[in-house]
Structure 1
Amino acid sequence: MSELLERLANLPLRENLRGVSPYGAPQLDVPIQLNVNENTHPMPEVVRQAITEEVHRVAGQLNRYPDREFVELRERLAAFLGHGVTPDQVWAANGSNEVLQQILQTFGGPGRSLLSFPPTYSMYPLLASGTNTAYIAGERGADFDLTAEAAARQVRESQPSIVFLCSPNNPTGTALGLDVVEAVYAAGEDAQTVVVVDEAYAEFRQTGTPSALELLPGRPRLIVSRTMSKAFALAGARLGYVAAAEEVTAALRLVRLPYHLSAVTQATANAALKHVDALLANVEDIKLQRDRIVNELTRLGLTPAASDSNFVFFGGLADPQRTWEALVSHGILVRDVGIPGHLRVTAGTEAETTAFLSALERHLGTGQG
């Protein structure tokens, strides 16, 4: 590995890529993997069958380029989102990471900047680096909260080209109030800041937690990002999308690669969107397991954050690395996000959740947690 790093250092890399590590979570061969916020529930059989039939239908046409404008998919995504969103306001790519990258390619770049508020999704600075966009790390409160006043002040001070607001936030799982989004948007008026609300986990939010989709009318610099990786259990299909003003989706077309969404990807997503109810039934079960985790961790004397996502961020651990290792020894993989005293666990099936809670309680009983 050291030899490879030495050879890498000898390449004529861009300076802002030197010393950078690629994004990635530990991948271990264990029975219960609760570390990357996947939907661990089995795909409903009706959805599997629909995807199989749709992919089979397009397989005979793979010698031709796919629909460059993926019209049917945009229509189905707009219908799913509601809130008056039209197909012309929807854009999609290979996972929400690619959509975010396209946003930075369009509105970022040399001489421009991106502001986000760590701890948050760790891909943001990597996406900024990859597009030669200066990255500005904002600040949160002591309990990782972000108030409208604090966020707006930091936007006025730094005048960024783009702001990424992750809601529900990864890794904390907490959602932002719409007052934060409104305040950030208003604070960016002079700099014409583009405000992106990353709602990758929106389908898991608590009842009554609003979506930034409500704020789209009259805000041409606001973009709401979603994904089909989580609630739709399509992490392997790679489909992310945004809703925004029509002029924003027109702008994103300027940087998209030709025919960037394959016919197979489009067929898979379209088939899944025909069975929203079956997929969202699993979402309800995941929410039950998430709330169960929060309740049980509280009983165990730990401090889980209130979660609007499909994972739980929890503190109160004296030695999170030792706890992580103990769980691995029981065949359970969770995520060490590098925040002292904390770990993050995905809400899995009932059986996976039971295994996690039982193993954690046994470990804490040894006094080594």
Structure 2
Amino acid sequence: MNAPDLSRSRPPVFSRIRSDVQGMHAYAVQDSTGMVKLDAMENPYRLSPELQAELGRRLGAVAVNRYPGARIEDLKRALAHYIDLPEGQALMLGNGSDELISLVAMACDLPGASILAPAPGFVMYAMSAQLQGLAFHSVDLTPDFQLDEAAMLAAIREHKPAITYLAYPNNPTGTLWDDAAMKNIIAAAGAQGGLVVIDEAYQPFAAQTWLDRMRAEPGQHGHVLLMRTLSKFGLAGVRLGYMVGPAALLTEFDKVRPPYNVSVLNAECALFALEHAEVFAAQAREIKAQRAMLVDALRALSFTVWDSEANMILVRVPTLAGGADATQVAARVFAGLKARKILVKNVSAMHPLLAGCLRLTVGTPQENAQMLAALRESL
């Protein structure tokens, strides 16, 4: 039987929606009901009852009948102090870093413009390009998930991208790139008039930040924006991202930002978290300690494990007897974990370099112990 032609049964209004949009898939979120949720790189720790009560009082006093106003500026000043904003730099807020990625693409949407990023990487770089009608060019990482510097430089020469993304650390690999390669790529992109966006979503768990380079070498970073989110800090439900860059450059991007894009409740939550930054710093230290434990335990189970500077670990499943390829084995292990109420991310089909790979979020000690036990049973 032939498949039905759905286009004929759709109302005419669908013809007003871009065909490429109709052919896209929405960003998928796995159902985590009843599961140990280790698929989305969230901080697993909740606020203490005392801090929950204090935050509740703060939020209850917010004037939700008014549009966001001066409190947003309070938050920008608090973030500037928290990160020790370099002189001459400004700060812009977004509804998560996803919105900032979209706004950067929107502002750079000139005829023939393109976006360049290493692959595998964060899916929103390519999606933002498609939604804005920009060309997207990816450059494969090396087999050990490092930047292919020569290939990146060649792609910059060929495509002259308006935007080059460098995630630091990278998702899903957890990698911090080589400093020399980063500097050369940043310089090459700038030499042909392009913008570089360094995405530090996982900075709370990394050994270093590129912001230190921007502070020490402002002359080499006049075309560089640095993006972060409070999601991994511990506020994934709050949706608050921020972008740092030369003040004159950020002024242009701020023109495409929707008015009141950050709610007063989000801003108050973020201010509250920054006032208790030591609590979240202690959580990050515990997550990093658990990460080190997991790396050792996973290697003992014969997984291939890449060193991570994020709150996730990329692993490749061990080769098993029976002739199944790595992607099939990863699917079986993923299904085995899910049957045991452990939810991780199967990234095996996302890119050829990820064949046989799963991405595991670092959880609490109890959650990590449950995941390791489920992995042993699934193998």
Please give the TM-score of this superposition, normalised by the length of structure 2: 0.88
Q: CA deviation at 1:169?
A: 0.6
SS in 2 for 1:256: coil
Secondary structure at the counterpart of residue 203 of structure 1: helix
Matched, 1:335 2:345: yes
1:180 aligns with 2:184: no
Aligned position for 1:289: 290
Q: How far off its partner does 1:69 sit? A: 8.2
- Which residue number corresponds to residue 57 of structure 2? 53
Q: Which residue of 1 is the match for residue 323 of structure 2?
A: none
State the partner residue of 1:157: 158
Instruction: Report if aligned partners of 1:197, 1:212 keep a CA contact under 8 Å in 2.
Output: no
Separation in 2 of the partners of 1:347 and 1:140? 24
User: Matches of 1:119 and 1:264 in 2, distance apart?
Assistant: 35
Task: Please give the alpha-carbon distance, in whole angstroms, between the structure 1 residues aligned to 2:284 and 2:376.
Answer: 26
C-alpha contact (below 8 Å) 1:109/1:131 kept by paired residues: no
Residue 322 of structure 1 pairs with residue 321 of structure 2 = no
The amino acid that maps onto 1:221 is: H
CA deviation after TM superposition for structure 1 residue 178, in Å: 2.9
Q: 1:234 to 1:3 in 2, by over 3 A?
A: farther
> Is 1:74 equivalent to 2:76 in the alignment?
yes
Structure-2 separation of matches of 1:91 and 1:3: 46
Aligned counterpart, 2:40: 36
Alignment of 1:213-252 (within 5 A): 213-215=212-214, 217-218=218-219, 219-231=221-233, 233-252=234-253
CA distance in 1, matches of 2:261, 2:367: 36
Q: Cα distance, 1:121 vs. partner?
A: 0.6
Using the TM superposition, give the Cα deviation of residue 246 of structure 1 relative to its aligned residue in structure 2, in angstroms.
0.5
Retained in 2: the 8 A contact 1:114–1:135? yes
Normalised by the length of structure 1, the TM-score is 0.90
Given that residues 327 and 356 in structure 1 are in contact (C-alpha distance below 8 angstroms), is that contact kept between their aligned partners in structure 2?
yes
Once residues 79 and 181 of structure 1 are traced to their aligned partners in structure 2, the CA distance between those partners, rounded to angstroms, is: 26
Q: Deviations over 1:322-356 (max 9, x none)?
A: 00000011110000112311101100000000000
Contact 2:315 2:358 in 1 (8 A): yes
CA distance in structure 2 between the aligned counterparts of 1:163 and 1:336, rounded to whole angstroms:
27
2:287–2:311 CA contact under 8 A, matched in 1: yes
Indicate conservation of the 8 Å contact 1:83/1:214, yes or no.
no
**Could you tell me whether the CA contact under 8 Å between 1:50 and 1:272 is conserved in 2?**
no
Structure 1 residue 141, shift from structure 2 partner: 1.1
Alignment partner of 1:138: what SS? Answer: strand
Task: Sort the Cα spacing of 1:265 and 1:185 in 2 relative to 1 into closer, same or farther, 3 A.
Answer: same
What SS does the aligned partner of 1:24 have?
Answer: coil
Q: Which moved more, 1:93-102 or 1:22-31?
A: 22-31
CA 1:7 to 1:230, structure 2 compared with 1: closer, same or farther past 3 Å? Answer: farther
Deviation at 1:99, TM superposition (A): 1.0
Aligned to 1:203: 204
Q: Distance in 2 between matches of 1:358 and 1:169?
A: 28
Corresponding residue number in structure 2 for 1:302: 303
- Report the RMSD for the aligned CA atoms in angstroms: 2.2
The count of aligned residue pairs is: 357
In 1, the alpha carbon distance for the partners of 2:87 and 2:259 equals 25
Q: How far apart, in 2, do the equivalents of 1:138 and 1:249 lie? A: 27
In structure 2, list runs of 5 or more residues that go unmatched.
319-325
1:46 deviates by: 4.8
What is the rounded CA distance, in whole Å, between the counterparts of 1:175 and 1:98 in structure 2?
24
Identity of aligned residues (%): 29
In structure 2, how many angstroms separate the alpha carbons of the residues matched to 1:305 and 1:85?
Answer: 36
Q: Which amino acid aligns with 2:245?
A: A
Residue 3 of structure 1 and its aligned partner are, at CA, apart by 9.1
Tell me whether 1:356 sits opposite 2:371 in the alignment: yes
Checking the alignment, whether the CA contact within 8 Å between 2:227 and 2:241 is kept in structure 1 is yes
Q: Distance in 1 between matches of 2:32 and 2:266?
A: 27
- Check conservation: 2:95, 2:239, Cα contact below 8 A: yes
In the TM superposition, what whole-angstrom CA distance separates every residue of 1:103-153 from its partner, at most 9, and x where no partner exists? 111123542110011100112111111122211112211222104444223
Q: Distance in 2 between matches of 1:274 and 1:236?
A: 18
**Maintained 8 Å contact 1:79/1:85:** no
Using the TM superposition, give the Cα deviation of residue 254 of structure 1 relative to its aligned residue in structure 2, in angstroms. 0.8
Distance in 1 (alpha carbons) for counterparts of 2:31 and 2:236: 15
Q: Secondary structure at the match of 2:40?
A: coil
| Deviation, structure 1 residue 202 | 0.8
CA distance in 1, matches of 2:73, 2:177: 32
Kept after mapping to 1: 8 A contact 2:140/2:148: no
Distance 2:23 2:212 in 1: 38
How far apart are 1:267 and its partner, in Å? 1.0
Give the partner amino acid of 2:126.
Answer: P
1:237 positional shift = 0.7
- The separation in 1 between residues aligned to 2:180 and 2:54, in whole angstroms, is 40
Retained in 2: the 8 A contact 1:310–1:346?
yes
**Separation in structure 2 between the aligned mates of residue 178 and residue 8 of structure 1, nearest angstrom:** 54
Q: Compute the displacement of 1:191 (Å).
A: 2.6
CA deviation vs aligned residue, 1:21-54 (integer Å, no higher than 9, x gap)? 1112322323301011111112244543443232
Following TM superposition, by how much is the alpha carbon of 1:258 offset from its aligned partner in structure 2, in angstroms?
Answer: 1.3
What is aligned with 1:367? none
SS of the equivalent of 2:334 reads: helix
Higher helix proportion, which one? 2
For 1:243 and 1:46, the matched residues in 2 are separated by 33
